[in-house]
């Protein structure tokens, strides 16, 4: 099968990529991340293909697809249980200039699964294949030639990698990212990285690349896991919270003052991009992560929870540093 690889074939292995995290890896945080510790590839938050195909829904959802040229290569992640919606959304995304499209077949959220999307795709091999082929068709409709990838899990209730992965490979995705747990396991058990190694064996000779995902602490850990499993790449997710230096080779032990300075910069950018579009309250999870691991951090976090704009965050940080720096 002829698989269009696009930018993927140009990356040095093992490549280290940023996971799509809903309401976390938005345009503001991604720009901060690529400034202070560029991953090899970034993903958008996951986006409803169905919503993109609805006139009112599209207007509300498009901010999730804002990106800056500094973020390339950037992949837009879509989810749906309807191939025709996936085709239309893939056409739109390709026209927006993304470097690739990823289909979410791993989200464990009950509401998403009830739609037949996310991890529920694992229960319908035929639908999963149709979604991949429809995304490719939508890209063709747009007159573009960008790669399609899939992010998934080992199974829904049980590990069915031996059947599930070959079914995906039949549809010819450029890349499959494997979160090494089942949907039932959520993130409640350690990731099964031995199954990533098995996925590499199953995919050998197919032309499809395998990215491993789950419990990756830092770059050093990622490289060890890649070496042990033979994965072409490793995806890091939760470790990015409060740590835009995660992908920087010298990103360890960032001083408190620098951490808080970048937190303020992140807040300003968020406010600049999303005032009137997204709630400022979404920044709170970032404050919990930035303000951590130094004397007085708990006190600062409590005060940051009361902030409602970038100016109040900046003033709170300045007052804190005046007493603790």
pLDDT tens digit sequence for 288-315? 999 999 999 999 999 999 999 999 999 9
Asked if 98 and 144 count as a contact pair (C-beta separation under 8 A), the reply is no
pLDDT attached to residue 268: 98
Residue 246 inside a domain? The answer is: no
121 is annotated as an active-site residue: no
> Which residues of the chain fall short of a pLDDT of 70?
1, 325
Judged on CB neighbours under 10 Å (0-12, 13-18, 19+), 286 is buried
- DSSP E strands in 180-295: the ranges are 209-213, 233-236
Q: What would the pLDDT profile of 35-48 be if each residue is shown by its tens digit?
A: 999 999 999 999 99
Q: Are residues 206 and 265 in the same domain?
A: no
pLDDT confidence of residue 179: 98
| Half-sphere exposure at residue 244, Cβ-oriented, CA atoms within 13 angstroms | 24
User: Is the Cα dihedral 266, 270, 272, 273 positive or negative?
Assistant: positive
Order of strands, edge to edge, in the sheet holding 100-105? 15-18, 233-236, 209-213, 175-179, 148-153, 100-105, 74-79, 42-48
End residue of a domain, out of 240, 268, 293: 240
Place of tokens 């360890």: 252
SS3 of residue 155 by DSSP: coil
Q: Give pTM, 2 decimals.
A: 0.96
Contact 48, 80 (CB under 8 A): yes
160 is a domain residue: yes
- Do residue 163 and residue 98 come from a single domain? yes
How do the residues of the chain divide into helix, strand and coil, expressed in percent and rounded to 5? 50, 15, 35
235, part of any domain: yes
> Which of 49, 107, 121, 216 is labelled catalytic?
107
Domain that holds residue 262: 256-324
Query: How many distinct structural domains can be found in the chain?
Result: 2
Structure tokens at 41: 């590839």
Task: Verify that 29 and 122 share a domain, yes or no.
Answer: yes
**Which pLDDT score, from 0 to 100, does residue 250 have?**
77
Q: What is the CATH number of the domain that holds 205?
A: 3.20.20.70
pLDDT score of 299:
95
Pair (118, 232) in one structural domain: yes
pLDDT of residue 17: 98
């Amino acid at each position: 099968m002829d698989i269009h690889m696009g930018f993927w074939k140009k990356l040095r292995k093992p490549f280290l990529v940023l996971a799509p995290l809903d309401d976390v890896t938005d345009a503001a945080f991604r720009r901060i991340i690529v400034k202070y510790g560029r991953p090899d590839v970034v993903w958008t938050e996951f986006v409803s293909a169905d919503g993109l195909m609805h006139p009112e829904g599209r207007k509300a959802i498009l901010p999730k697809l804002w990106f800056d040229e500094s973020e390339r290569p950037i992949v837009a992640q879509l989810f749906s249980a309807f191939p025709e919606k996936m085709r239309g959304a893939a056409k739109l995304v390709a026209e927006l200039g993304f470097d690739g499209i990823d289909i979410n077949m791993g989200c464990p959220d009950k509401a998403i699964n009830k739609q037949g999307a996310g991890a529920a795709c694992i229960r319908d091999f035929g639908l999963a294949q149709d979604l991949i082929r429809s995304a490719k068709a939508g890209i063709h409709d747009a007159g573009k030639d960008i790669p399609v990838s899939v992010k998934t899990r080992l199974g829904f209730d049980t590990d069915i990698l031996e059947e599930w992965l070959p079914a995906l490979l039949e549809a010819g995705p450029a890349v499959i990212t494997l979160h090494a747990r089942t949907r039932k396991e959520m993130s409640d058990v350690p990731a099964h990285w031995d199954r990533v190694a098995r996925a590499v064996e199953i995919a050998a000779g197919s032309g499809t690349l395998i990215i491993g995902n789950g419990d990756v602490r830092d770059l050093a850990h990622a490289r060890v896991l890649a070496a042990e499993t033979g994965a072409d790449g490793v995806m890091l997710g939760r470790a990015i919270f409060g740590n835009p230096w995660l992908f920087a080779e010298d990103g360890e032990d960032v001083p408190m003052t620098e951490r808080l300075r970048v937190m303020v910069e992140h807040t300003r950018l968020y406010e600049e991009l999303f005032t009137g579009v997204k709630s400022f309250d979404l920044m709170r999870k970032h404050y919990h992560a930035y303000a951590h691991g130094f004397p007085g951090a708990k006190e600062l976090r409590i005060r940051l929870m009361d902030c409602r704009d970038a100016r109040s965050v900046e003033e709170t940080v300045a007052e804190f540093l005046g007493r603790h720096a």
